[in-house]
Amino acid sequence: MNEAFAEPNLGLINAQNLKLPEFEKKFTLKTDASNTGLGAVLVQENKNGKLIPVQ
């Protein structure tokens, strides 16, 4: 049973930190969908131009 939880938890351990929103900057909404589900994440560019999830 522990093996079933090990792999998803690695994603949480290696996840990037969320950043606080900077309301003067542009927001981007990244989306994905299939026949069985959908997902979305709100991101902003950091100072290096990398998209980081916003809390």
Q: Where are the alpha helices (DSSP H) in the chain?
A: 2-13
Residue 40: its pLDDT value, please?
95
d(CA 28, CA 45) in angstroms, rounded, equals 9
Interval 24-39: pLDDT, tens: 999 999 999 999 999 9
Residue 9: its pLDDT value, please?
57
Tokens for 52?
A: 């980081």
DSSP-based three-state secondary structure for 5: helix
